[in-house]
């Protein structure tokens, strides 16, 4: 086969193959200007709008669903309405000296209960259950009434 | 002074076609050329669309910035088709060998057995050889034009075309 024959076959085959592709066979496609505009919209504006919408939904959900009752700050000890600690703690029959820790309770005393006098009487009186009645009478009896057998009072003689 | 410089001589030539007009005129011939390279109309259309999109992103509508838009597009299509062929070759290396597909009856009737044989032999050339054969025998470009389009030397075009014709002659069973 001469080069001319081969080249002729080549030209004929290439022309036939390319002629098999017609304009009707092509898929409809936009020209690059329109395709680029659409690309700009899909690449920039759609994500931006989606981000703004998500942020708006998050802010709205936070505003609507956040707890409304806020916890009040703890009151300072000086601001308690009653300077006296709860006297009912002295009525407990526990002989243990840990009952004195109830003095530090910040529970305010009710207004219906009359004040029992000096707050210094409640400390020693809580040690003895039998002396709870007279303990509230006076501050001077608080010392001997502590109920301790080793106390050097007149009752020990 | 500014008015004198930016006069009619500095304006964009009115004869420069817009990119949309160029797309309408050149899309089908470029798709045909890409089909001759990659044997697949869908891939060929994708190649041409990508080349036009890149062309527009780079130059926008100002075609006066390109000396020869047609040569630019041909070069872009050829390079993209060569990349596709290279990727196919790499993928084929990892696949089990298979027989050549039997041509469809419609394709056989449309092209003819002889033309199909030539097209099949074209598929066994390297990508560079196929580029040069298509540009030489379908686009009817000279060796110098092919060299300018593919950015290779004219000697490379000549030697590659010679080797391609030798391979084709051996493939087609003619001495």
| Domains of chain A by residue range | 37-62
The alpha-carbon gap from B169 to the nearest alpha carbon of chain A, in Å, equals: 7
Calpha distance B34→B44 (Å, rounded): 5
Q: Which of A4, A32, A37, A38 to mutate to test the interface with B (most CBs of B within 10 A)?
A: A32
Could you tell me which chain B residue has the CA closest to the CA of A7?
Answer: B137
CB contact under 8 A, B172 and A13: no
* pLDDT score recorded for residue B8: 34
The alpha-carbon gap from A47 to the nearest alpha carbon of chain B, in Å, equals: 21
DSSP per residue, A13-43? HHHHHHHT--GGGSPP---HHHHHHHHHIII
* pLDDT score recorded for residue B75: 94
What does the pLDDT average to over B26-53? Answer: 93
Q: Lowest-pLDDT range, A117-121, A124-128, B8-12?
A: B8-12
A14: chain B residues, CB-CB within 8 Å = 36, 134, 137-138
Tens digits of per-residue pLDDT, A33-66?
776 676 667 778 888 999 999 999 999 999 999 8
What does the pLDDT average to over B113-135? Answer: 92
ipTM of the modeled complex: 0.81
Share of chain A above pLDDT 70, in %: 38
The verdict on B114 touching A (C-beta cutoff 8 Å) is yes
The alpha-carbon gap from B25 to the nearest alpha carbon of chain A, in Å, equals: 11
Confidence of residue A28 (pLDDT cuts 50, 70, 90): confident
> Is A135's pLDDT higher than 90?
no
Non-local (6+) Cβ contacts of B64 within 8 A are: B12, B13, B16
Tens digits of per-residue pLDDT, B137-169?
999 999 999 999 999 999 999 999 999 999 999
* pLDDT score recorded for residue B138: 95
CB B147 within 8 A of CB B157: yes
The larger pLDDT score, comparing residue B5 to residue B84, is at B84
Q: Give the residue extent of every domain in chain B.
A: 17-96, 103-175
What does the pLDDT average to over B43-60? Answer: 90
Calpha distance B175→B27 (Å, rounded): 39
> Is A123's pLDDT higher than 80?
no
* pLDDT score recorded for residue B60: 76
| CA dihedral for B91, B93, B98, B102, sign (positive or negative) | positive
Calpha distance A153→B16 (Å, rounded): 124
Q: Which fold has domain B103-175?
A: Arc Repressor Mutant, subunit A (1.10.10)
> Is A139's pLDDT higher than 50?
no
> Is B64's pLDDT higher than 70?
yes
* pLDDT score recorded for residue B33: 96
> Is A119's pLDDT higher than 50?
no
Calpha distance B94→B82 (Å, rounded): 19
* pLDDT score recorded for residue A136: 46
* pTM attached to this predicted model: 0.58
Query: Quick one: which of B134, B106, B45, B32 has its CA closest to A21?
Result: B32
Strands, E, within chain B: which ranges? none
* pLDDT score recorded for residue A25: 87
Side-chain-facing half-sphere of B44: CA atoms under 13 Å: 22
How many CB atoms sit inside 10 A of residue B99's CB?
Answer: 5
């Amino acid at each position: 086969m001469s080069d001319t024959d081969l080249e002729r076959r080549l030209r004929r085959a290439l022309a036939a193959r390319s002629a098999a592709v017609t304009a009707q066979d092509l898929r409809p496609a936009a020209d690059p200007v329109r395709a680029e505009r659409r690309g700009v919209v899909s690449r920039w504006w759609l994500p931006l709008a989606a981000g703004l919408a998500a942020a708006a939904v998050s802010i709205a959900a936070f505003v609507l669903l956040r707890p409304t009752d806020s916890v009040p700050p703890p009151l300072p000890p000086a601001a308690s309405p009653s300077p006296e600690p709860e006297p009912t703690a002295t009525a407990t029959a526990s002989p243990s000296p840990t009952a004195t820790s109830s003095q530090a309770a910040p529970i305010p005393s009710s207004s219906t209960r009359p004040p029992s006098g000096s707050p210094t009487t409640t400390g020693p009186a809580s040690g003895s259950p039998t002396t709870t009645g007279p303990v509230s009478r006076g501050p001077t009896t608080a010392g001997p009434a502590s109920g301790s057998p080793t106390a050097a009072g007149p009752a020990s003689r | 002074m500014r008015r004198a410089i930016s006069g009619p001589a500095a304006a964009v030539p009115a004869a420069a076609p817009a990119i949309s007009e160029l797309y309408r005129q050149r899309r089908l011939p470029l798709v045909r050329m890409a089909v001759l390279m990659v044997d697949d109309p869908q891939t060929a259309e994708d190649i041409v669309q990508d080349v036009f999109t890149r062309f527009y992103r780079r130059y926008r509508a100002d075609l006066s910035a390109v000396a020869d838009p047609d040569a630019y597009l041909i070069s872009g299509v050829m390079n993209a088709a060569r990349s596709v062929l290279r990727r196919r070759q790499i993928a084929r290396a990892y696949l089990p060998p298979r027989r050549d597909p039997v041509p469809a009856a419609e394709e056989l009737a449309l092209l003819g057995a002889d033309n199909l044989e030539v097209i099949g032999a074209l598929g066994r050339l390297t990508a560079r050889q196929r580029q040069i054969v298509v540009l030489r025998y379908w686009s009817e470009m000279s060796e110098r034009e092919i060299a300018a389009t593919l950015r290779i030397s004219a000697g490379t075009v000549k030697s590659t075309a010679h080797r391609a014709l030798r391979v084709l002659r051996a493939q087609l069973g003619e001495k």
